[in-house]
Structure 1
Amino acid sequence: MKVLLVDDQALFLESLQGLLQAHGYQVAGVAMDGLDALTQARRLRPDLILMDIEMPRWDGLMATRLIKAEMPEVKIVMLTVAADDGHLFEAIKSGASGYLLKSLNAKEFLAFFAKMDQDSPPLAPGMAARLLNEFARQSRPAPASRQENESNLTARENEILTLVAQGLTYPQVGALLNLSERTVRYHMGEILARLHLQNRSQVIAYAARHGLIGS
């Protein structure tokens, strides 16, 4: 996994780079603001970007939107010093796959980071529940909306969408529904394309908004 690190604090950047390299991750490059992040992402084509939110020139949210528009396959995890709900919701809407606090210790950070290999969004403690609650609060659908959702997806796709939104991995979903992991991934690709979603975090928000999972 090629990783691009983006943060305007040199000491934090060096510490994070050392931590990841010590545990076998390939740090392909670093950037210190949002504009440089876009430039480096174009050049390096990383698999994952760890992106600070508050930076000079372009902030992390703007950089995330622009990078995801050009390279939707790149996963971006936001880093922040404070658990700000506004930043959290805006980050997910911008296409971020996760949201972590800089206050995590090394062991906690690596545990969340490892979730990227399991197709699970790394969200700081308490963030997942707050994300669900906020999106559910913002728009509870009318019955017609639920009917529209059901008409857009097959019964099988609705099952997979609901299980993935509940936090199950693709192998776990496959085991429950007697499907191969490859088939589950194919269905998820179809679901994401049809619903115009980009990642699992947005799937969770969509499922909460449409009453497919509890808040």
Structure 2
Amino acid sequence: MKVLLVDDHPLFLEGLQNLLTARGIDVVGTAGDGLEALEKARALHPDVILMDIQMPRCDGIGATRLVTAELPDIQIVMLTVSEEDKDLFEAIRSGASGYLLKTLDSDKFLELFSGLSQGEPALSPGLARKILGEFARKAGGAEGTAQGYEDDVEERLTPRQMEVLTLVARGLTYKEVGTVLCLSERTIKYHMGKILQKLHLENRTEVIAYAARMGLVRGET
């Protein structure tokens, strides 16, 4: 996994880089603000960007919009001190794949961050519940009732898209979903694009939150 680090505090950047490289993670570069992050992303093509929010010139949320619009294959995880709901929701809406707090201890941070390679969203404990609550309010306002919205899901998605949605929500990677359904990873990504479009969602993190709220993920016994 190639990682680009973006933060306007050099001392924090140095410590984070040392932590990641000690665990065998390839840190390909660093940037001090959002505009430099976009330039480095173009040049270095990282798999993941760890992005602070409060930075000069261009903040992390603005940079997330710029990077995801131009380089959609790059995953962006916010790494911030902000626990404000507005920052969390705006980051996810802007295309972030995760939101981690700088208050995490190093072991928990590495555990959550490493989950990205398994197709899991990187979210600090407690934040997933906030996201679910936000989508519940949005769906309720837009559709009248959550039940009516749930009943409409299968009408909007094809049977194959429902299969993909359910498997992705269970935490499978696109490759693993393809293996289960005997389809190529490229085909799974195509179906995911259609799912996002039909359900008016922005990214994989929103899909997982949506599926959980709709009861599409059942407990396994």
Distance 2:202 2:183 in 1: 18
Distance 1:84 1:158 in 2: 33
Deviation at 1:186, TM superposition (A): 3.4
- Deviations, residues 125-147 of structure 1 (Å, cap 9, x unaligned): 01111101111112223477556
SS in 2 for 1:29: strand
Q: Does 1:193 align with 2:200?
A: no
Corresponding position of 2:207:
203
SS in 2 for 1:120: coil
- How much identity, in percent, do the aligned residues show? 51
Corresponding position of 1:107:
107
Trace 1:20-99 onto structure 2 (pairs within 5 A).
Answer: 20-99=20-99
Asked if the contact 2:161–2:195 (Cα under 8 Å) also holds between the matched residues in 1, the reply is no
Once structures 1 and 2 are overlaid, which stretch shifts more, 81-90 or 139-148? 139-148
SS in 1 for 2:171: coil
SS in 2 for 1:62: helix
Q: What amino acid does structure 2 have at the position aligned with 1:45?
A: H
Q: Which runs of 5+ in 2 are unaligned?
A: none
SS in 2 for 1:28: strand
Distance 1:58 1:193 in 2: 31
CA pair 84-66 structure 1, distance change in 2 beyond 3 A:
same
CA pair 181-136 structure 1, distance change in 2 beyond 3 A:
farther
- Deviations, residues 156-196 of structure 1 (Å, cap 9, x unaligned): 3214313433x43249x85xxx9257557733541333433
Deviation at 1:2, TM superposition (A): 1.1
Deviation at 1:118, TM superposition (A): 0.3
Asked if the contact 2:93–2:202 (Cα under 8 Å) also holds between the matched residues in 1, the reply is no
SS in 2 for 1:53: coil
Distance 1:116 1:130 in 2: 20
SS in 2 for 1:131: helix
SS in 1 for 2:122: coil
CA pair 145-129 structure 1, distance change in 2 beyond 3 A:
closer
Corresponding position of 2:162:
158
Asked if the contact 2:196–2:203 (Cα under 8 Å) also holds between the matched residues in 1, the reply is no
Asked if the contact 1:61–1:90 (Cα under 8 Å) also holds between the matched residues in 2, the reply is yes
Corresponding position of 2:132:
132
Asked if the contact 2:196–2:207 (Cα under 8 Å) also holds between the matched residues in 1, the reply is no
Asked if the contact 2:3–2:48 (Cα under 8 Å) also holds between the matched residues in 1, the reply is yes
CA pair 179-128 structure 1, distance change in 2 beyond 3 A:
same
Q: What amino acid does structure 2 have at the position aligned with 1:31?
A: A
- Normalised to the residue count of structure 1, the TM-score between the two structures is 0.85
Q: What amino acid does structure 1 have at the position aligned with 2:52?
A: D
Q: Which runs of 5+ in 1 are unaligned?
A: none
Asked if the contact 2:132–2:210 (Cα under 8 Å) also holds between the matched residues in 1, the reply is no
- Normalised to the residue count of structure 2, the TM-score between the two structures is 0.83
Asked if the contact 1:99–1:124 (Cα under 8 Å) also holds between the matched residues in 2, the reply is yes
Q: Does 1:169 align with 2:176?
A: no
SS in 2 for 1:179: helix
Asked if the contact 2:53–2:61 (Cα under 8 Å) also holds between the matched residues in 1, the reply is yes
Aligned residues: 210
Distance 1:200 1:126 in 2: 18
Deviation at 1:12, TM superposition (A): 0.6
CA pair 5-182 structure 1, distance change in 2 beyond 3 A:
farther
